[in-house]
């Protein structure tokens, strides 16, 4: 019996002993110092306690704050010590030491009190937790905290940011903190002056976050008054029936303000009149006479006087009522001075945005033009020198792209695979072009219709062969890792590295073409055949051989263009058809057979397409239709293109 009593005493005394040890922990002492105001949990008085935890360097402080915010912090009524708990049963809780996280005994639930902070206190606790995250030794954690604040900012975050900004040593994070502090000041600043100063700091800033912060400040509400209003918060006066305020919307404003009788739609009015027809009359008015809106208004008013329907305003009364009020916009998003400052900065930003959008559009146009130039340069050679309309030119582009895909199946290094694919694609399509010229084209010279039909048939056959070999699904032609991403100038202007690479490749091809045509024997003979084939033949040049090499050279360039285009666009058996029309337009507009004309034609077609798509972004098919119509009109005034070619191509 004595041993049982001793054991019982030890069990009963365990919680008190453990709790007594817990009271010596630094985090417990800190809570005890502010225990009285924590127990009351009043937003007006709780600040010092939260600040003490937030400013402390105690490793357990963030956990305590988080538990407090989540309503998982309790204190013992008798001793005032703070603990976490685990439920044992409906009446008993297991106490957890806040310093060690270890169980320290069990206690009746009635002897505990749960801290239940309201939304305001939870917000203050959240700000304290943010301080810990912004002071965390890990750079990643600090950046993550800043991103979280920017996504879901609260008023308490402003003071938290200001408290830690001076301690930040990383220049990038410090700059991000300063920017975020100004953005939060715009929204949560205590005085108008500091909000205006923060707004003016972003003069000319193109950041999306800036516009997101300023736009709510210049929100307006349309109001009505009997006399013209005065005050800085009035933006402008509106006229009912204008583009900015319709007659119906203006009257609805008066109805909502209980300044005018409600209106009724014509259909509802007609239905009410029909429902009240009796013996061919409505309220004593013959139905046959209700052939105008004024007559129907009169009949409806008569029904309203009888109490049959609710009274509403007639069209004449609407006009009369509108004439007695002034309609105007009033700033509602911020005090007038702040709203005016935001409006001024936004106007400057919008002007700069428009200029940068134009620059971005120009970059897109140059990028598209370089793609069209690559697609058209080979066609310009064959069409200009030989006068051959090669409808299978797009399939040579497709063959080059598939060559790049096949190479990447055997060479996993994407950079090396592209280096191998470019000359291999030239060789493959050069051979295909020479074969096509020897077997088909040479028998159809000076017969353009037959040439067009034959090459069109060959294009269909090549598409089907590609489908049989590679299937109908798009195949990936992966760009090297160093071409990932974009060159970003600001939040508006950017261009992908792949497009830059295609642009550089187009310039290299331009230089290569000029070198071949102006500095090599082949180029000299090609130019001679272009200008006068009979005279060239009399000088010992074989026009037949030159035609073969020229056609092969143009086809080989199309193959290289296919590799470049495949890095940007999908690789399918139909990809050539996506570029053949634009390639022909580029050649025709620029001037058949002239490399500089092709370059100008690609620039014109690419720019025109991008600007039409910008004006009509929701319908790309319509944009292409408008572009083709423009090209047709252009050819009517300039049938030989921008730069006309002399020689055989000009005579064809």
What gap in Å lies between CA 407 and CA 416, rounded to an integer?
10
Domain with CATH 1.10.3470 in the chain: 362-651
From its phi and psi, is residue 231 left (phi > 0), alpha (psi between -120 and 50) or beta? left
Owner of token pair 């051959």: 388
Q: Which two tokens stand for residue 547?
A: 């035609």
Residue 281, beta-bridge partner list: 278, 286
Only one residue has tokens 């052939």, namely 291
Alpha-carbon distances of 643 from 587, 593, 597, 632, 637, rounded to whole Å: 10, 9, 5, 17, 13
Res 485: pLDDT: 83
> Do residues 598 and 376 make contact, with C-beta atoms less than 8 angstroms apart?
yes
- Indicate the SS3 state at residue 191: coil
Under 8 Å between Cβ of 502 and 560: no
Cα 129 from chain centre: 32
Task: Please tell me the distance from the alpha carbon of residue 599 to that of residue 207, in angstroms, as a whole number.
Answer: 35
CA 228 from centroid of its chain's CA atoms: 42
Predicted local distance difference test score (pLDDT) of residue 646: 52
User: Which neighbouring-strand residues pair with 337?
Assistant: none
pLDDT at position 262 is 80
pLDDT, tens digit (0-9, with 9 covering 90-100), for 69-113: 888 888 888 888 888 888 888 788 888 888 888 888 888 888 888
Quick check: 53 and 128 in contact, CB under 8 A? Answer: yes
Output the pLDDT for position 447. Answer: 82
Coil/strand/helix, residue 535: helix
Classify domain 362-651 at the CATH topology level.
Answer: ABC transporter involved in vitamin B12 uptake, BtuC (1.10.3470)
* DSSP category for residue 45: T
Residue 108's beta-bridge partner residues?
A: 92
24 token code pair: 């010596």
Helix residue ranges, H only, 70-169 = 119-134, 139-151, 155-165
CA distance 424 to 438: 21
CB 543: neighbour CB atoms within 10 A? 18
What is the reported pLDDT for 21?
43
Coil, strand or helix: which one is 327? strand
Binned average pLDDT, 10 residues per bin, the chain of 652 residues: 38 42 71 82 81 79 84 85 86 87 87 86 80 82 84 81 85 90 90 91 88 89 83 82 84 84 76 78 76 77 76 76 85 88 90 87 87 82 73 89 91 89 92 90 81 88 90 84 83 85 85 83 78 77 83 88 85 84 80 76 84 73 74 76 56 46
E strand or H helix that includes residue 92: strand 92-97
């Amino acid at each position: 019996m004595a041993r049982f009593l001793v054991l019982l005493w030890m069990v009963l005394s365990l919680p008190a002993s453990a709790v007594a040890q817990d009271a010596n922990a630094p985090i417990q002492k800190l809570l005890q110092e502010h225990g009285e105001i924590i127990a009351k949990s009043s937003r007006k008085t709780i600040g010092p306690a939260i600040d003490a935890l937030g400013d402390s360097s105690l490793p357990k402080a963030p956990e305590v704050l988080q538990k407090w915010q989540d309503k998982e912090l309790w204190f013992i009524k008798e001793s005032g010590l703070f603990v976490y708990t685990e439920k044992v049963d409906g009446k008993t809780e297991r106490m957890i030491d806040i310093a060690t996280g270890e169980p320290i005994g069990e206690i009746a639930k009635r002897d505990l009190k749960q801290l239940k902070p309201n939304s305001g206190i939870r917000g203050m606790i959240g700000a304290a937790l943010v301080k810990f995250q912004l002071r965390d030794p890990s750079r990643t954690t600090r950046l993550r905290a800043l991103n979280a604040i920017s996504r879901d900012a609260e008023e308490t975050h402003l003071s938290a940011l200001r408290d830690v900004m001076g301690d930040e040593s990383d220049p990038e994070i410090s700059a991000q903190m300063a920017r975020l502090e100004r953005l939060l000041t715009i929204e949560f600043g205590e005085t108008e002056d500091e909000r205006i100063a923060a707004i003016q700091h972003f003069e000319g800033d193109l950041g999306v976050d800036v516009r997101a912060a300023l736009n709510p400040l210049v929100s307006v509400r349309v109001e009505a008054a009997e006399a013209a209003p005065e005050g800085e918060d009035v933006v402008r006066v509106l006229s009912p029936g204008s583009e900015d305020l319709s007659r119906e919307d203006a009257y609805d404003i008066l109805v909502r303000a209980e300044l005018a009788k409600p209106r009724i739609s014509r259909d509802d009015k007609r239905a009410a009149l029909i429902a009240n027809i009796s013996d061919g009359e409505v309220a004593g008015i013959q139905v046959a006479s209700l052939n105008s809106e004024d007559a129907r208004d009169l009949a409806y008013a008569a029904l309203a006087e009888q109490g049959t329907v609710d009274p509403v305003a007639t069209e004449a009364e609407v006009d009369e009522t509108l004439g007695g009020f002034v309609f105007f916009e009033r700033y509602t998003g911020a005090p007038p001075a702040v709203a005016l400052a935001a409006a001024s900065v936004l106007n400057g930003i919008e002007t700069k945005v428009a200029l940068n959008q134009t620059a971005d559009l120009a970059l897109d146009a140059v990028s598209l033009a370089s793609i069209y130039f690559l697609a058209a340069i080979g066609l310009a050679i064959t069409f200009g020198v030989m006068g051959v309309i090669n409808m299978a030119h797009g399939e040579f582009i497709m063959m080059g792209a598939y060559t790049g895909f096949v190479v990447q199946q055997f060479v996993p290094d994407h950079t090396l695979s592209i280096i191998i694919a470019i000359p291999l694609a030239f060789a493959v399509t050069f051979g295909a072009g020479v074969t096509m010229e020897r077997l088909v084209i040479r028998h159809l010279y000076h017969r353009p219709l037959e040439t067009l039909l034959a090459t069109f048939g060959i294009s269909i056959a090549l598409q089907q062969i590609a489908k049989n070999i590679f299937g109908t699904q798009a195949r990936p032609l992966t760009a090297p890792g160093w071409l990932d991403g974009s060159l970003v100038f600001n939040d508006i202007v950017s261009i992908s590295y792949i497009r830059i690479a295609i642009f550089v490749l187009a310039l290299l091809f331009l230089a290569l073409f000029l070198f071949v045509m102006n500095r090599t024997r082949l180029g000299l003979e090609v130019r001679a055949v272009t200008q006068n084939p009979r005279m060239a033949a009399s000088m010992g040049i074989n026009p037949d051989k030159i035609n073969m090499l020229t056609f092969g050279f143009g086809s080989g360039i199309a193959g290289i263009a296919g590799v470049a285009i495949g890095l940007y666009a999908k690789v399918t058996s139909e990809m050539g058809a996506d570029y053949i029309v634009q390639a022909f337009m580029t050649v025709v507009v620029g001037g058949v057979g002239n490399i500089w004309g092709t370059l100008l034609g690609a620039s014109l077609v690419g720019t025109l397409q991008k600007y039409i798509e910008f004006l009509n972004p929701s319908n790309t098919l319509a944009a292409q239709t408008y572009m083709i119509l423009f090209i047709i009109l252009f050819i009517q005034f300039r049938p030989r293109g921008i730069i006309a070619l002399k020689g055989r191509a000009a005579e064809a």
